[in-house]
Amino acid sequence: IIKPFDLIYGKYFSPFFSLSDIEFAWSKNGLEKIGGTQNLFFRIDYLLVERDLPLDISQISSSERSKQIHCSFRVFLRTMTIKWEEEVEKRLLNYMSHSSTTGNEAKFAEVVAKDLEDNGWTVQKQFIPGTDRFNVYASFRNSDPKYVKVLLNTHLDTVPPYFPPTQDDKNIYGNGSNDAKGQLAAMVTAATIISNTDEDVARALGLLFVVGEELDHVGMIEANKLGILPDYLLVGEPTELKFGTIQKGALKVKLTVTGQAGHSGYPDSGTSAIHKMVEVLNDVLKFEWPSDKTYGSTTLNVGKIAGGQALNAWAAQCDADIFFRVVTSVKNIEELLNKVVDGRAEVTLLSSNDPVILDVPPIEAETDQVSFNTDIAYFDAKDKVKAKYLFGGGSIKNAHSKNEFIPKDELHKCTSTLVKLVHNLYSYH
């Protein structure tokens, strides 16, 4: 009997590897590496340690032995991989069958809490004061809930309206499929795989799932009171399986221009606030806002305009709301905006948070800038962690829409990448 656990967690091996270029020799203690190249194999299934792999090697020559070992493990790994791929798909479809639009997360949070408890995790429910809504924080068995080496975080809420899931051979569709119940299902599945294979690693892992991310970040703001201080933080959002290099900052402002009401048939009877606003916004849109080769460009959207009282009157007032995605700093963009406006409009700050520079993972992975806001900016300990990551399956470009979906292949790869990263951070950092 050769135990896969001994191979994968032996001193010679990373958690994920390919057997195709590795040679082995038989000894009293099992298989030992004697040569070859170790390659990463991200599709390995950690549930394989629940079984032993019988190989009759007594009549096999040394040269043929390696071939049988390779072949047997390949068959075994693929069989087990199918098992957890089906599990994460089933978990996501179950999660998506429960509505959890912002403000209505309580019933779904109970579903997630029970799922974790059924898989051996200790759950703490942190209620938002004055509501039935609560964050879910899970640690494994007797681990210290305040200290974890790796903290996986995403959100329970989705943008309305709710609509139930559907699927085909390639994708899972529906409200929250990628933002962010797909990330949630991948994290819970990854945690289950880890806890079923190495309890020491599981005890170093924490899972924090919060409410209200899509509206006011109230869940993460409240979660700071838990006092969790991880070495590493990973937030799950749909990034197309690329690790973010930056979470761009957010600056929301209101421009207000005042005119003088009068009959629009007589140009000298008043001044139009709308006409003045058009000139201001034209200059704002034409201005070259800061950009960076690594972190991308500052972008903006004039999302709302309101003004005027009648078609036959000069507009007495006009308001325009602008949302900047910031790569430098909020202060820098505010200063530049005031120079562009040059006193022609009143600038009112609505809300803001600075960019968050993210870390490159210690595993091979694609990277990209992220142009949407997340809970990272609201985690008080973000500047105390050794590294912070933003990663997930699916694309933000179809989130918050009736066309939202996550490819099943990305759901699988997201799960395996989380397992791989957690083991890497636990073992080598």
Specify whether 91 is located in the same domain as 214.
yes
Specify whether 237 is located in the same domain as 322.
no
Specify whether 242 is located in the same domain as 253.
no
Domain interval for residue 411: 84-247+355-427
By annotation, the residues acting in catalysis are 213
Residue 15 maps to a domain: no
Secondary structure of the chain as H, E, C letters = CECHHHHHCCCCCCCCCECCCEEEEEECCEEEEEEECCECCCCCCHHHHHCCECCCCCCCCHHHHHHHHHHHHHHHHHHHHHHHHHHHHHHHHHHHCCCCECCCCHHHHHHHHHHHHHCCEEEEEEECCCCCCEEEEEEECCCCCCCCCEEEEEECCECCCCCCCEECCCEEECCCCCCCHHHHHHHHHHHHHHHHHCHHHHHCEEEEEECCCCCCCHHHHHHHHHCCCCCEEEEECCECCCEEEEECEEEEEEEEEECECCECCCHHHCECHHHHHHHHHHHHHHCCCCEECCCEECEEEEEEEEECCCCCECCCEEEEEEEEEECCCHHHHHHHHHHHHCCCCEEEEEEEECCEECCCCCCCCCEEEECCCCHHHHCHHHHCCCEEEEECCCEHHHCCCCCCEEEHHHHHHHHHHHHHHHHHHHHHC
Residue 385 maps to a domain: yes
Specify whether 372 is located in the same domain as 416.
yes
Specify whether 196 is located in the same domain as 116.
yes
Residue 205 maps to a domain: yes
Specify whether 49 is located in the same domain as 90.
no
Q: How many structural domains are present in the chain?
A: 3
Specify whether 320 is located in the same domain as 376.
no
CATH number at residue 386: 3.40.630.10
pLDDT one-digit tens code per residue, 269-300? 999 999 999 999 999 999 999 999 889 999 99
pLDDT-flagged residues of the chain (< 70) = 1-82
Residue 24 maps to a domain: no
Domain boundary among 296, 317, 352: 352
Specify whether 332 is located in the same domain as 363.
no
Residue 390 maps to a domain: yes
In the prediction, which pLDDT does 82 show? 59
Distance CA 134, CA 371 (A): 28
In the prediction, which pLDDT does 79 show? 45
Share of the chain above pLDDT 90, in %: 76
In the prediction, which pLDDT does 291 show? 95
Specify whether 143 is located in the same domain as 224.
yes
pLDDT one-digit tens code per residue, 214-254? 999 999 999 999 999 999 999 999 999 999 999 999 999 99
Residue 17 maps to a domain: no
Specify whether 237 is located in the same domain as 265.
no
In the prediction, which pLDDT does 145 show? 77
Residue 391 maps to a domain: yes
Specify whether 313 is located in the same domain as 405.
no
CATH number at residue 318: 3.30.70.360
